[in-house]
Structure 1
């Protein structure tokens, strides 16, 4: 019986992991409802073929946000630009969420190429802003 447990336990764990993890097949397209990806990715990212385009590292994006706002990073992702951002020439966006010292959450959108602030939203925005920041 003990030998059977030794054999079955890893199999059950593997089965549980396989069922819990999402699968991404050709027909299973998962989209973020806040920032939908176009169906044809190739045309959307043609501008990435530019030789001078480089994605700002996440570490640097967090530093840029930290220079202006106090808080701890709780989430980060790269998303496509919104239509108004795309019209301004933005190709990719770093979307960061910071937990402020007063426990508010800030959502910060940065241009993933230049590091420019695109949007900052959330409760406690004024309290989280660093006072030593010069305009």
Structure 2
């Protein structure tokens, strides 16, 4: 708004990107977490983080991390520092998608599932009017 340079200087991510877990907790209140539209983000990031489906999965991550805070008697910052793998694996078990993170749950039967088909479609029938 008060820039001395001309024009906007926005960088746009190419494709999908993560919302950092660190944006969900307060930097100066130990037990305060945010979810949805009030997370810590720049005005540029708000364009995508304010989408309702994104708000919902942010809330899911905040809720799961709050449960880990209670379980381990830790703050959200402690969860980030020492329990991120546990949080990510929990979210993956709940059918969340985390780009670049593999499901390592040995009890998850989907990891060893195979799919077969009794037939296959070789071409689509297209009708013209």
Q: TM-score, normalised by structure 2?
A: 0.26
More strand by share: 1
Larger helix fraction of residues? 2
